[in-house]
Amino acid sequence: MSSDNQLANKSQAWSALFSEPMSDLVKRYTASVDFDKRLWLADITGSLAHAEMLTAQGILSAEDHAAIQRGMAQIRSEIEAGTFEWKLDLEDVHLNIEARLTELVGIAGKRLHTGRSRNDQVATDVRLWLRSEIDELTKLLTGLQVALVDVAEKNAEVILPGFTHLQVAQPVAFGHHLLAYVEMFARDAERMTDLRRRVNRLPLGAAALAGTSYPLDRERVARTLGMEGVCQNSLDAVSDRDFAIEFTSAATLVMVHISRMSEELILWMSQSFGFIDLADRFCTGSSIMPQKKNPDVPELARGKTGRVVGHLMGLITLMKGQPLAYNKDNQEDKEPLFDTVDTLRDTLRIFAEMMGGLTVKPEAMERAALRGYATATDLADYLVKKGLAFRDAHEIVAHAVKTAIGTGVDLSQLPLAELQKFDARIEADVFEVLSLRGSLNARNILGGTAPVQVRAQVARHRERLSA
Ligand code: ARG
Q: What is the 3-state secondary structure of 159-205?
A: EEEEEECCEEEEEEEHHHHHHHHHHHHHHHHHHHHHHHHHHCEECCC
pLDDT digits (tens, 9 = 90+) for 198-213: 999 999 999 999 999 9
Average pLDDT over residues 330-340: 98
**Does 49 score more than 60 pLDDT?**
yes
- Averaged pLDDT score across all residues of the chain: 95
| Residue where a domain terminates, one of 333, 366, 399 | 366
The rounded Å distance from CA 161 to ligand 1 centre is 55
Q: What is the pLDDT, as a whole number, of residue 292?
A: 85
Question: Do 133 and 72 belong to one domain?
Answer: no
Closest CA to 434 of 381, 386, 378: 378
Q: For position 405, which CATH number holds?
A: 1.10.40.30
Question: Do 254 and 186 belong to one domain?
Answer: yes
Distance between CA 47 and CA 118 in Å, rounded?
A: 11
Question: Do 214 and 307 belong to one domain?
Answer: yes
* Percent of the chain residues past pLDDT 90, beyond the cut: 93
Question: Do 332 and 185 belong to one domain?
Answer: yes
Question: Do 134 and 216 belong to one domain?
Answer: yes
Within a domain: residue 193? yes
Strand partners, 146: none
Within a domain: residue 14? no
pLDDT digits (tens, 9 = 90+) for 366-379: 999 998 899 999 99
Residue 403 CB burial class (10 angstroms; 0-12, 13-18, ≥19): middle
The rounded Å distance from CA 44 to ligand 1 centre is 16
Q: What is the pLDDT, as a whole number, of residue 289?
A: 87
pLDDT digits (tens, 9 = 90+) for 339-358: 999 999 999 999 999 999 99
**Does 11 score more than 70 pLDDT?**
no
Within a domain: residue 348? yes
Distance between CA 107 and CA 104 in Å, rounded?
A: 9
Within a domain: residue 155? no
Boundaries of domain holding 97 = 26-114
**Does 32 score more than 60 pLDDT?**
yes
* pTM, rounded to two decimals: 0.94
Distance between CA 128 and CA 150 in Å, rounded?
A: 34
Q: For position 257, which CATH number holds?
A: 1.20.200.10
Q: Is 98 in the pocket of ligand 1 (CB under 6 A)?
A: no
| Residue where a domain terminates, one of 307, 331, 366 | 366
Question: Could you tell me if 221 and 240 are in contact, meaning their C-beta atoms sit under 8 angstroms apart?
Answer: no
Average pLDDT over residues 416-420: 96
Q: Which of 27, 129, 331 to mutate to test the pocket of ligand 1 (most atoms within 8 A of CB)?
A: 331
The rounded Å distance from CA 80 to ligand 1 centre is 24
Average pLDDT over residues 175-192: 98
Q: Is 96 in the pocket of ligand 1 (CB under 6 A)?
A: no
Question: Do 71 and 188 belong to one domain?
Answer: no
pLDDT digits (tens, 9 = 90+) for 85-104: 999 999 999 999 999 999 99
Question: Do 270 and 175 belong to one domain?
Answer: yes
Ligand 1 closest atom vs CA 208: 10
pLDDT digits (tens, 9 = 90+) for 104-142: 999 999 999 999 999 999 999 999 999 999 999 999 999
The dihedrals phi and psi of 278, each to the nearest 5 degrees, come to: -100, 145
Within a domain: residue 7? no
Within a domain: residue 44? yes
**Does 13 score more than 50 pLDDT?**
no
> 3-state DSSP call for residue 299?
helix
The CA–CA distances, whole Å, from 14 to 18, 20, 47, 90, 208 equal 7, 10, 22, 10, 16
Q: Is cis: bond before 16, omega within 30 of 0?
A: no
Strand partners, 277: 359
pLDDT digits (tens, 9 = 90+) for 259-303: 999 999 999 999 999 999 999 999 988 888 888 889 999 999 999
Ligand 1 closest atom vs CA 326: 10
Question: Do 265 and 380 belong to one domain?
Answer: no
Band of the pLDDT at 9, cuts 50, 70, 90? low
Band of the pLDDT at 7, cuts 50, 70, 90? low
| Residue where a domain terminates, one of 346, 366, 386 | 366
H/E run at residue 445 = none
Q: For position 88, which CATH number holds?
A: 1.10.275.10
> 3-state DSSP call for residue 359?
strand
Question: Do 305 and 249 belong to one domain?
Answer: yes
The rounded Å distance from CA 120 to ligand 1 centre is 9
Q: What is the pLDDT, as a whole number, of residue 288?
A: 83
- The set of catalytic residues is 165, 286
Within a domain: residue 269? yes
Domains of the chain: total? 3
Within a domain: residue 315? yes
Average pLDDT over residues 172-192: 98
Band of the pLDDT at 14, cuts 50, 70, 90? low
pLDDT digits (tens, 9 = 90+) for 150-159: 999 999 999 9
Question: Do 361 and 445 belong to one domain?
Answer: no
Q: Is 119 in the pocket of ligand 1 (CB under 6 A)?
A: yes
Biggest CA-to-CA distance, the chain: 105
Question: Do 316 and 450 belong to one domain?
Answer: no
Question: Do 50 and 137 belong to one domain?
Answer: no
